[in-house]
Structure 1
Amino acid sequence: MKLALQLGYWGADPIAEAPALVAAAELNGFDAVFTAESWGSDAYTPLAWWGAATERVRLGTAVAQISARPPTALAMHALTLDHLCGGRHIIGLGVSGPQVVEGWYGQPFAKPLARTREYVDIVRQVLARQAPVVSSGPHYRLPYPADAPGSTGLGRSLKPITHPLRADIPIWLGAEGPKNVAQTAEIADGWLAVFYSLSLADRYEQWLAEGFARPGARRRRDDFEVAAGAQVVITDDVAAAVDRYRPSTALYVGGMGAKGTNFHAELYTRMGYGDEVAEIGRLFLAGKKAEAIAAVPDEMVRETMLVGTAEEVRAQIKQWEAAGVGMLMVTARDVATIEQLAALV
């Protein structure tokens, strides 16, 4: 099992302890460090800034939102960072949700699977640098058609000026639903599993297998990376740890989306918490945040956590590894926790 430090995105302020955490991750054998973005801090600037002090760990985005940048711009970020870190970058991409895509980026959210497929194809064209980049769309058209609204007709196909260090920078995709996970297996090099659950492990493998079986699939299961985000807490007080993360479970299930359109809620429903999800969503959308948090049962929080004594957590890690997880992306916020986790694996 590999370990990765997930720094995530910032809240109201930057993560003050990040340099010490990154240094500890590198010193203690973590495989990678990841950053994320929502509608505040971006994913690439902190990754480059903090990553400049590293020599070994891989540096990834988990995730960079595809609506935040045209695919050629994302490829520019990626090839630049990959040069600067000596070939240690992982491109992690995700579609976000309609509230963010349409409300923050002013882009249409429709057809996220098709948009992702086109986006990845264009990024790979840039990194390959074998020919000028072209795309017939319909979501990303390169060059912009001469007969399209507002076009000057002067657009031309281009190759990147800078030669990428690696044509095969790995691309990992964040995915939650069966179609998205299957497409990830087909076109990507790894899967960023946001809320991994052992109760769904067999279904995850079925979805992945469907993608690997498609004609032209990029990889096979044995050379494909599965990275699961998880709260890992070593403690004798499991109840306190569950209480600490109950609000975030309520937020993602009830508040990170609109009524009828919340991918996290759909995932927890697949886990078997349909009634609880409905009640949490009803309360959250009614503005009853405290009641929504109280409605989250302990077992629902623990579904995506590894928690207990050191020996109990070690046993849980082995269960996740046996189920197909190759990397745990942990959100440690102190050096001691990083050292404890490193000792477990």
Structure 2
Amino acid sequence: MKAGFSVGYWSSGPPANIERRLAEAEALGVDSFWTAEAYGSDALTPLAWWGSRTSKMQLGTSVCQMSARTPTAMAMAALTLDHLSGGRFLLGIGASGPQVVEGWYGQPYPRPLERTREYVEIMRTVWAREQPVRFEGRHYQLPHNGGAGLGKPLRSTVHPLREDIPVMLGAEGPKNVALAGEIADGWIPLWFSPKSDAFYRDALNEGFSRPSARRTAQDFEVAAVVPLVENDDVEKAAARLRPLIALYVGGMGAKDVNFHGNVFARMGWADVCAKVQELYLAGRKEDAAAAIPLEMVEDVALVGPADKICEDIERRWRPTCVTTMILAGWPRPDVRERILAAVRG
């Protein structure tokens, strides 16, 4: 596996010491640096700002919200960042969920897989730059049908540095994961668990088997964001992640539609998810976090002393389909190289 470093999206403001951590990560040979967005900080601005301090690391988004930008706007941003980084950009995009898409971005959510397929096709047409862009889809039309009636097909004024910028899909459900295997260059799972490896391999293989598949299992990237909290006390380490898991399981989505909760339910935590959601939606966030057992945290995260973290990586994570472990957490200096070595094997 390769090692990546993630800062995700912000809470109340920019995380501290990112410039220093990036310099340390690049000096240690960390392969990639990743940002994210939901409904606060965006993914592209921090990636460009902090990424300008790097010279070797790949720069990725995990993920950009599709509903935040039209396909051509996303293609423009990607080719711009690819030029500025010297061809180091990795474009991760995702359909998100109805709560965010319709509540924050004011866009329709239905038929997300179909929308994703159109979105990616348009971006690749922009980057190929073979002709002015024309597209007549269910969700996107270029030129726009209606309005002033004066739209005309256009071609990017910029020649892309790479005509085939890597596209990675953020996906959780089996159909969306299969779509990633079919149309993308990689998959960015959220809340990946080694115990679900066979389930995800089956979904990816469904995509790889389709006639239009771009990749095979041998040249496909799986970049999993893995929370990491290093502490000699396992329970103290897990306690730092419980509120985050409770937010996703209990508060990200409607009562009957929560894709993140479904991920944990497939791991065998359906009863816990139901309890966490009940508490969270009742406003009892601390109780919701406390209801998450240690084993549920350990399913999706690296927590505890460095020896345990290294053993978990080598025994549980390395045999999976994950090709890049994006660490969402930065270990102490005296154990940092050991943990990175465990990732790389």
TM-score by length of 2: 0.95
Aligned to 1:61: 61
Deviation at 1:235, TM superposition (A): 3.5
Cα distance in 1 for residues equivalent to 2:244 and 2:157 = 43
Deviation at 1:66, TM superposition (A): 0.1
Q: Is the contact made by 1:17 and 1:333 (CA closer than 8 Å) also made in structure 2? A: no
Match of 1:170 among 166, 170, 177: 166
Alignment of 1:90-105 (within 5 A): 90-105=90-105
Aligned to 1:321: 318
Cα distance in 2 for residues equivalent to 1:27 and 1:335 = 15
Q: Is the contact made by 1:24 and 1:335 (CA closer than 8 Å) also made in structure 2? A: no
Aligned to 1:70: 70
Deviation at 1:334, TM superposition (A): 6.3
Uncovered stretches (5+) of structure 2, i.e. residues with no partner: none
Q: Mark the CA change 1:15 to 1:235 in structure 2 (over 3 Å): closer, same or farther.
A: closer
Cα distance in 1 for residues equivalent to 2:11 and 2:302 = 24
Cα distance in 1 for residues equivalent to 2:73 and 2:332 = 34
Cα distance in 2 for residues equivalent to 1:303 and 1:334 = 19
Alignment of 1:179-258 (within 5 A): 179-258=175-254
Q: Mark the CA change 1:160 to 1:210 in structure 2 (over 3 Å): closer, same or farther.
A: same
Deviation at 1:102, TM superposition (A): 0.7
Superposed CA deviations along residues 127-173 of structure 1, whole A, max 9, x for unmatched, are 1111111211111111112xx3xx11111111100000001110001
Aligned to 1:332: 329
Aligned partner letter, 1:17: N
Aligned partner letter, 1:109: Y
Note if 1:341 corresponds to 2:344. no
Q: Is the contact made by 2:229 and 2:238 (CA closer than 8 Å) also made in structure 1? A: no
Deviation at 1:335, TM superposition (A): 6.4
TM-score by length of 1: 0.95
Cα distance in 1 for residues equivalent to 2:175 and 2:10 = 30
Cα distance in 2 for residues equivalent to 1:59 and 1:338 = 21
Q: Is the contact made by 1:29 and 1:342 (CA closer than 8 Å) also made in structure 2? A: no
Aligned partner letter, 2:292: V
Q: Is the contact made by 2:230 and 2:331 (CA closer than 8 Å) also made in structure 1? A: no
Deviation at 1:196, TM superposition (A): 0.7
Q: Is the contact made by 2:79 and 2:127 (CA closer than 8 Å) also made in structure 1? A: yes
Q: Is the contact made by 1:68 and 1:105 (CA closer than 8 Å) also made in structure 2? A: yes
Cα distance in 1 for residues equivalent to 2:137 and 2:32 = 34
Q: Secondary structure at the match of 1:271?
A: helix
Cα distance in 1 for residues equivalent to 2:281 and 2:47 = 34
Aligned to 1:281: 277
Deviation at 1:317, TM superposition (A): 1.8
Q: Secondary structure at the match of 1:4?
A: strand
Deviation at 1:306, TM superposition (A): 2.2
Deviation at 1:340, TM superposition (A): 4.9
Note if 1:310 corresponds to 2:306. yes
Deviation at 1:307, TM superposition (A): 3.0
Cα distance in 1 for residues equivalent to 2:336 and 2:260 = 27
Cα distance in 1 for residues equivalent to 2:320 and 2:340 = 20
Aligned partner letter, 2:143: P
Q: Is the contact made by 1:24 and 1:338 (CA closer than 8 Å) also made in structure 2? A: no
Deviates more, 1:21-30 or 1:87-96: 21-30
Q: Is the contact made by 2:230 and 2:237 (CA closer than 8 Å) also made in structure 1? A: no
Q: Secondary structure at the match of 2:168?
A: strand
Superposed CA deviations along residues 66-107 of structure 1, whole A, max 9, x for unmatched, are 000001000100000100010000000011111111111111
Aligned to 1:8: 8
Deviation at 1:316, TM superposition (A): 2.1
Note if 1:114 corresponds to 2:110. no
Aligned partner letter, 1:94: G
Cα distance in 1 for residues equivalent to 2:336 and 2:9 = 19
Q: Is the contact made by 2:192 and 2:300 (CA closer than 8 Å) also made in structure 1? A: yes
Q: Secondary structure at the match of 1:270?
A: helix
Q: Is the contact made by 2:26 and 2:54 (CA closer than 8 Å) also made in structure 1? A: yes
Deviation at 1:232, TM superposition (A): 2.6
Note if 1:38 corresponds to 2:35. no
Cα distance in 1 for residues equivalent to 2:127 and 2:217 = 24
Deviation at 1:192, TM superposition (A): 0.3
Deviation at 1:338, TM superposition (A): 4.8
Aligned partner letter, 1:42: D
Q: Secondary structure at the match of 2:215?
A: coil
Q: Is the contact made by 1:25 and 1:338 (CA closer than 8 Å) also made in structure 2? A: no
Q: Secondary structure at the match of 1:322?
A: coil
Aligned to 1:301: 297
Deviates more, 1:226-235 or 1:60-69: 226-235
Q: Is the contact made by 1:28 and 1:338 (CA closer than 8 Å) also made in structure 2? A: no
- Give the alignment's Cα RMSD to 1 decimal: 1.4
Deviates more, 1:316-325 or 1:303-312: 303-312
